[in-house]
Structure formats: structure tokens, C-alpha cells
Amino acid sequence: MTDSRAWRYVLVVAPALLCMLLSLFVYNGVRRTRESRLLVAHTRDVRQRATITLSRLQDAETGQRGFLLTGEERYLAPYERALAALTGDTSLLRSLTADNAQQQARLDTLRGFMQLKLEELASTIAARRASGLDSAMRIVRTDRGIVAMDSIRAVTGRVIAEESSLLDRRLATEVRRGRAVTLILFTGTLLAVILAILVNATLLRHAEAEEQLAAELDLRNQHLEEQAVELELQSHQLQDQAAELEMQNEELTSASDELTERTHDAEVANAAADEARVAAEDANRAKSEFLAVMSHELRTPLNAIAGYTQLMQLGVPEPVSAAHQEYLTRIQQSQYHLLGIINSVLNFARIEAGTVHYDVTDVAVSPLLASIEGLIGPQLQSRGHRYRCAPCDPSLVVRADADKVVQVLLNLLSNAIKFTAPGGSITLSAVACDGLAQLRVADTGAGIPADKVKSIFAPFVQLDTSKSRVTEGTGLGLAISHDLAIGMGGSLSVESEVGSGSVFTLSLPLAG
């Protein structure tokens, strides 16, 4: 009898132990699979960052070529942006590959070639500025830049090849671990089924033994019935107490049912909230990945279109007719427009994700306003507008990010130029008021209807949404400017009257 009890105990406990062991194995397998996935994602980040670094250098070359051919400083914008971003790119690459000595050595080599390439670019630009195109071309013909760029591509290719090899190995490891987890689950389930069958068989035998014991108990129950008569008297007394307890039990049951229902509703709400949060995180991650790909895949061909269009306009490799020059101008305008749309969408996405960095310092307002006219001069001339930058107090200083302030003012001035009829007036001014500096852009355009004023700072909102509208844009300029103003501790507001024009006011905290 003792052996039978022990055997039944083993059969009852064994499935629980098996489930526990199976859970441990599965947990370990899932953990290792997750680690493999993190390593795969890390490898993909390194490859992407190496590709972006190479693309930055190509952007720098594009800016250099445009400047060498035209001598116009505005063509250096891609070069300057690439130069500003390359240090961060290479630092991020080094941190991502800190655990790989070979990759670190390659990055040291890549840094040397990049230095040579950037020095060659800087020397040609300096020569172009100082002595003209022929002097710059003599430096180009030394082929130092080509050799350095080929070396950069070769080293970058080896870095990417190494990471591709690591990616293949880590993907294979992830597959093997996934198969191991599946095998453990299958084997554990099979063993659990076998143990369940054994337990059921044992319980059936135990049930037959219990039936025999039940027959013996029936005989004993006959003797107990006599005692039951005596207990019946006591039962009547207990029934009265039971009635009271039943009423209390009904009240408790009602309260328990209500509590259960509320608990269920709360669980459903929590589950829905978790699903919504996961969906939002997935959507945000997918958006970020899409924007990164769009930035690389669209900017590179657009820059190439701009470069070749400029070469053709300059008559390289052969002169083109006046009609073709007009077509090339339209192509170039369309390229600039599309590139502006892409930049606006990406800037808005960065602001929305909270990844914009603000370098807040003391900024003198007067020289900042004076520098704006040179940036919008061509637009003003093309539209025939009268522009005035009103003198302001030279001591007016604000706490802000100078680049972000310029970006906001350029957005406001560009809108004023677009929505003001040719020959209109645009004024830029700044005053101090109530502890704030108010930078104002006033125009004599068509104005904004009163029912549209509150919505113009929302993303993708345009006053004229018809297919025949005259002005172009994405509806993001004011939304980006509004968020940048708030990010610097300020605000952006507007006063407008239909037919009289608009006044946009950027308010920033004073320094000191």
C-alpha cells in the first residue's frame, strides 16, 4: 500500500516537474534567440551607418563639383552638411564596432583616407575661391581625390563585407536556436502526454478501489442513520441560523459578482491599451525606418539629377539650345521643390519624435536679422517684392538656438514671398516687450481668413487645397516653425486680416 501511494505521488508530481524543466529550457532558448536578434540588429546598424558615411562623402563631392563649376557658394550646401555630419557618423561607427578589433583597425584606415579626401576637397574649394577654376582643376587632375575616394570605397566595402559575414553567421545561429526551442517544446509536450496517460490509468485504478470502499461505507451508513435522527433536531436549530447566513451570502455574492464584472472590464481595457501601445510603437519604428530609407534612396538620385542638370546647363559635355536650357531649368526647379518636400517631412518627423537637439546660447538679434536678406535675395528679386529690415536695438540679445531661429525666419519669409502678390512689401523687425524679444515678419499679402488662423500651425494644413492652386508646398513649414519656437522656450503667433496682409511674431526669451 505504501509503494502504491509513493508511485501515485510520483505520477502526480512528475508532470509538474517536467513542465518546470520544459519552461526553463524554453526560457533559456527564447533568451538566447533574443540575444541573437539583438546581435543581428546591431550588425545591420553598422552596415547602414557605413553606407551613410560613404553617402555623406559623395554628397560632399557633389557640393564641391557644383561650386567648382559655378563658383556660387550656395552649391557648397551639400558639402557643408556632409562635413558637419561626418564626425558624428564615424564616431557612431566606432562605438558600434568597439567589440571588433579588425573593424576598429579598418575604421582607423578609413579615417586617414577620409582626412585626405576632405583635405583635397577643401584645397580645391579654396583654390577656386582664390584663383579660379583653372587653379582648382590643377589640383583635381593630380587624382589625389580619386585615389582617396577609391580607397574609402574599398575600406567601406571591407567593413560592410565583414558585417555581412557576421550577419550571415548570426542569422544562422538564430535559426539553430529557434529549431532547438521547437525541438524542446515538441519533446516536452510528448513526454507530458505520456505522463498524463499514466496518471489517468493510475487514477482509474484508484477509482475502482474507491468504489469497493464505498460499498463498505454503505454498511456503516446504515448505523449512522440512527444517529442522524438525533442530529435532525439540532439541524432545525441550525436551519434558522443558515437562513440568516444565506441572506448574508446572497449580499456577498452580489457584491462579488459586481466586483468580478468590474475586474473583467478593467482587464479588457488594460489589454486594449497594451495592444494600442504596441501598435503605436510598431508604427513609429516603421515610420522611422521608412524615413531613413527615404532619405538615402531619394536624396542621392535627386542630388545626381541636380549635378547633371548643372553640367548640361554649363554646356558639358556639349552646348544645348535655348529651348533645352528652359527644360533643364524646369527640371532643376522640380528637383529643388521635391528635395525641399523631403527635407520638410524629415524635419517634422525628427521634431515629432523628440530627437531635435537645441544648442541654446546668447544670440545677438541685430546681426542675425541683417544676415537674412542674403539668403532670400533671389526669391525677392524673382517676385519683385520690396523688402525692408527695420533697424533694431543693437543690445537686443535672446536665449535661443541661432540656426533654429534662422530656419524659422526663413520659413516665415518664404511663405510671405509666396503668398504676397508681385510688387508687394515684406518687413522684418524686432522689438523687446514684457521680457521677450518679438521678431516679426509682416507682409501685404492676401491675409488669412479668421476661421483658418487656429489651424495653420497644424501639420499638412494648406489654405488653398484646390488642384489649381498657385503656391506649392507640403503644409509643414509653419508646423515645423511652431514646434521649433516651443522647443527654444518661445512661441509663434499670427495676426492677419483678409486683404491687408499678415504679421507672424516669433517670441523668444531675453538673455540675462
pLDDT, position 468: 42
At 397, is the secondary structure helix, strand, or coil?
strand
- Residue 331 is assigned to a structural domain of this protein: no
Question: Which residues 6+ apart lie within 8 Å of 406 measured at CB?
Answer: 368, 371, 372, 375
Instruction: Round to whole Å and give the CA distance between 362 and 510.
Output: 9
451 in a domain, yes or no? Answer: yes
Q: How high is the pLDDT of residue 193?
A: 79
> How many angstroms separate the Cα of 302 from the Cα of each of 299, 332, 342?
5, 10, 10
The distance in angstroms from the start CA to the end CA of the chain is 92
> Is residue 269 in a domain?
no
Structural domain for 384, as ranges: 356-509
Quick one: which of 446, 445, 441 has its CA closest to 507? 441
SS (H, E, C) 64-86: HHHHHHHCCHHHHHHHHHHHHHH
How far, in Å, CA of 230 to CA of 345, rounded? 90
Q: How many domains, the chain?
A: 2
Contact (Cβ atoms closer than 8 angstroms) between residue 306 and residue 334: no
Q: H or E element: which one contains 230?
A: helix 144-313
Can you give the pLDDT at residue 11?
60
pTM over 0.75: no
Last residue of a domain, one of 143, 166, 200: 200
Closest by alpha carbon to 458, among 471, 441, 440, 475? 475
Residue 259 belongs to some domain of the structure: no
pLDDT reported for residue 484: 93
Q: What is the reported pLDDT for 293? A: 61
Whether 232 maps to a domain, the answer reads no
The domain spanning residue 405 has which CATH number?
3.30.565.10
Grid coordinates given for 356: 531635435
Rounded-to-integer distance, Cα 323 and Cα 389, Å: 38
Peptide bond before 317: cis, by omega within 30 degrees of 0? yes
Question: Is 82 inside any structural domain?
Answer: yes
Instruction: Examine the fold and report which residue of 155, 184, 200 is the final residue of a domain before the chain moves on.
Output: 200
Amino acid found at 314: L
pLDDT at residue number 52:
92
State how far the Cα of 182 lies from the Cα of 253, in Å rounded to an integer.
Answer: 45
Domain C-terminal end among 168, 200, 232: 200
- What averages of pLDDT result for each successive group of 10 residues across the chain (512 residues)? 61 71 76 77 87 90 90 91 88 89 89 90 92 90 89 91 87 83 82 76 75 79 76 77 81 83 85 80 62 62 70 73 74 60 58 74 94 87 90 93 93 90 92 92 89 78 52 70 92 90 94 82
Q: What integer pLDDT is reported at residue 280 of this predicted model?
A: 61
Residue 216 inside a domain? The answer is: no
Phi, psi of 489 (to 5 degrees): 80, 15
Is residue 436, in this structure, part of any structural domain at all? yes
